[in-house]
């Protein structure tokens, strides 16, 4: 249950995935006459067979958005299967579990087909930190120049430091401070806030 702002451990492919998604996807590619080594032709829609595995993705990653690092509610949240490597550019990865990230709708829209975002699966610990007064995301000043640049690009692309994201993080922090939620709830629903509170010795 750890995400961008904190690293995510890749979860094993479900046993039903190959038959339900991969094989059907490969057949669709072949029947459509598409070359999986080439970008998808402009105007061509890729068949969204990956939607079938969204329940397994939610279960595997504890309903936590891989980018904003907050719990995706079952009714009011917008859970999506995000292709880390854009399916429009790598059709051969469109139906691969390893290329999927559990992401809320807002983050998926910001990520879109861009490739300048750090992968939560390979993210180094403590890349991002949190100002618990303002809710702002900070990039660790001890990072090497290249890593720092990529981290800043990720924050910018995903709008992780927007007023909405700041308010969302602070909401969980304040609820804990006001004894409205306990540490277990905080860890399950806002793991980045939880870990930053531990790092800053507030838990």
Angle at 90 between CA 78 and CA 72, to 5 degrees: 15
Lowest-pLDDT choice from 38-42, 97-101, 165-169, 172-176: 38-42
* Residue 29 reports pLDDT greater than 50: yes
When pLDDT is averaged across residues 141-170 and rounded to a whole number, the result is 96
The string of pLDDT tens digits covering residues 93-146 is 999 999 999 999 999 999 999 999 999 999 998 899 999 999 999 999 999 999
* Residue 149 reports pLDDT greater than 90: yes
193/190 Cα distance (integer angstroms): 6
Candidates 98, 26, 99, 70; CA nearest to 158 is 70
171/12 Cα distance (integer angstroms): 33
Bridge partner residues of 138 (DSSP)? 129
And the tokens for 191? 């793991």
When pLDDT is averaged across residues 26-30 and rounded to a whole number, the result is 97
57/178 Cα distance (integer angstroms): 33
| Residues 157, 110 contacting (CB under 8 angstroms) | yes
Task: Select the more confidently predicted residue: 6 or 1.
Answer: 6
* Residue 2 reports pLDDT greater than 70: no
107/114 Cα distance (integer angstroms): 12
The helix (run of H) or strand (run of E) holding residue 168 is helix 163-177
Task: Select the more confidently predicted residue: 95 or 5.
Answer: 95
Q: 């790598």: which residue's tokens?
A: 90
**pTM score:** 0.93
Candidates 156, 127, 171, 185; CA nearest to 5 is 127
When pLDDT is averaged across residues 142-155 and rounded to a whole number, the result is 95
């Amino acid at each position: 249950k750890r995400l961008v702002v904190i690293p995510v451990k890749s979860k094993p492919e479900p046993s039903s995935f190959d038959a339900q998604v991969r094989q059907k996807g490969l057949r669709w590619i072949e029947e459509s006459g598409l070359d999986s080594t080439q970008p998808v032709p402009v105007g061509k829609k890729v068949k969204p067979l990956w939607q079938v595995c969204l329940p397994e993705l939610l279960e595997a990653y504890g309903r936590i958005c891989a980018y904003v690092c907050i719990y995706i509610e079952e009714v009011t949240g917008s859970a999506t299967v995000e292709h880390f490597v854009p399916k429009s550019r790598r059709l051969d990865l469109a139906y691969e579990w390893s290329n999927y990230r559990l992401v809320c709708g807002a983050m998926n829209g910001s990520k879109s087909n861009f490739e300048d975002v750090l992968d939560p699966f390979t993210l180094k610990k403590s890349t991002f930190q949190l100002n618990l007064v303002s809710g702002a995301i900070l990039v660790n000043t001890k990072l090497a120049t290249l890593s720092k640049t990529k981290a800043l690009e990720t924050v910018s692309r995903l709008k992780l430091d927007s007023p909405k994201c700041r308010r969302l993080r602070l909401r969980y922090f304040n609820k804990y401070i006001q004894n409205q939620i306990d540490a277990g709830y905080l860890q399950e629903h806002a793991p980045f806030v939880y870990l930053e509170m531990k790092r800053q010795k507030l838990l």
